[in-house]
């Protein structure tokens, strides 16, 4: 009965004309905050009657029960009734703030890295404890990890302020101020999945959001979401689109390191 009720609700929405109404998007917190929110402005300007309900959380949403119309997540759903599309790849590597490096130095080898302090994003979809355990099974959690947090923005902020070394997506180099890639240590990659119930694709406003999400992770436009790892320092050369500094206007200072990467002249982002 519950499944039938949800089906009737989706069928009713499918008759709604035009790009108007609410679309619920569930997405991991870091990707939602730092990648999709800045891009939402243009979509909403194009469709002023579109209301986006953005749920940023590290637990996968249940799209079958209409918890979300569409979901972007790092864990592949296993429900046979759902449409599942791989959007791209999320590449992560160790980063540290310049202030941390000034105090503790840059590890030159894996054994040196293990003597440093770490900041980890511990949440259901990051698998941080499992991955860190595989990387350094001999290291105690207490005394090695300086901070664990379930929030991606707090994780990035802690790394940027020098609390420790943390694994971040390669593209966060563009929005994290003076964070520096650490060349030694493991690099982890996650597949990015888009999932939704096939019935919602018949709803015009949801269909448009699905297309927008697929475009937002197009590796031809945004090479950091491609299958091959591209070093953060090489991403500006691989990217051929318009300067992305405009995405973060109001969040970063006009002459910060991001300005150089996305169209300005300041070169302080490189160590």
- pLDDT tens sequence across 20-31: 999 999 999 999
Which neighbouring-strand residues pair with 268?
Answer: none
Q: What is the pLDDT of residues 61-77, one digit of tens each?
A: 888 877 899 999 999 98
Do 14 and 124 lie in one domain? The reply is no
Which residues are CB-neighbours of 30 under 8 A, at least 6 positions away?
121, 152, 153, 155, 156, 169, 172
Rounded to whole angstroms, how far apart are CA atoms 56 and 32? Answer: 6
pLDDT higher at 201 or 129: 201
CATH number at residue 22: 3.40.190.10
Q: Is residue 239 part of a domain?
A: no
Report yes or no on 268 lying in a domain: no
**Are residues 171 and 146 both part of a single domain?**
yes
Same domain, 56 and 113: no
* One domain for residues 109 and 175: yes
Residue range 144-171, pLDDT digits in tens = 899 999 999 999 999 999 999 999 999 8
Tell me, what's the pLDDT at 124?
84
Q: Are residues 80 and 195 in the same domain?
A: yes
Pair (103, 142) in one structural domain? yes
Residue 238 located in a structural domain: no
Quick one: 163 and 257 in the same domain? Answer: yes
- Lowest-pLDDT choice from 82-86, 104-108, 143-147, 239-243: 239-243
Report the alpha-carbon distance of residue 128 to residue 133 in Å, rounded.
8
Farthest-apart Cα atoms in the chain, separation: 62
Q: Which domain holds residue 184?
A: 91-189+253-261
- Is residue 270 assigned to a domain? no
**pTM for the full model?**
0.82
Q: What is the predicted pLDDT for the residue at 223? A: 93
Inter-residue contact 60 to 75 (CB < 8 Å): yes
pLDDT above 80 (res 261): no
- In the chain, the number of structural domains is 2
23 and 51 share one domain:
yes
Same-domain status, 79 and 200:
yes
């Amino acid at each position: 009965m519950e499944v039938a009720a949800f089906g009737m609700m989706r069928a009713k929405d499918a008759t709604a004309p035009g790009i108007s109404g609410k679309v619920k998007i569930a997405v991991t917190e870091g990707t939602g905050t730092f990648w999709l929110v800045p891009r939402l402005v243009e979509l909403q300007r194009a469709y002023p009657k579109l209301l986006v309900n953005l749920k940023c959380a590290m637990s996968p949403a249940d799209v079958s029960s209409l918890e979300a119309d569409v979901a972007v997540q790092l864990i592949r759903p296993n429900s046979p009734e759902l449409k599942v599309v791989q959007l791209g790849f999320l590449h992560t590597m160790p980063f540290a703030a310049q202030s941390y490096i000034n105090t503790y130095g840059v590890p030159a080898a894996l054994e040196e890295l293990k003597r440093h302090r770490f900041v980890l994003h511990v949440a259901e979809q990051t698998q941080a404890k499992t991955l860190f355990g595989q990387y350094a099974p001999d290291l105690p959690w207490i005394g090695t990890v300086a901070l664990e947090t379930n929030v991606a923005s707090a994780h990035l902020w802690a790394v940027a302020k020098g609390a420790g070394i943390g694994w971040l997506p390669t593209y966060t180099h563009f929005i994290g101020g003076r964070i520096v890639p650490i060349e030694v240590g493991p690099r982890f990659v996650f597949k990015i999945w888009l999932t939704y119930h096939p019935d919602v694709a018949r709803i015009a406003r949801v269909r448009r959001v699905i297309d927008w999400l697929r475009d937002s992770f197009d590796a031809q436009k945004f090479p950091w979401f491609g299958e091959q790892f591209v070093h953060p320092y090489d991403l500006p050369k691989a990217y051929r689109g318009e300067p992305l500094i405009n995405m973060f206007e109001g969040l970063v200072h006009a002459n910060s390191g991001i300005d150089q990467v996305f169209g300005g002249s300041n070169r302080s982002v490189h160590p």
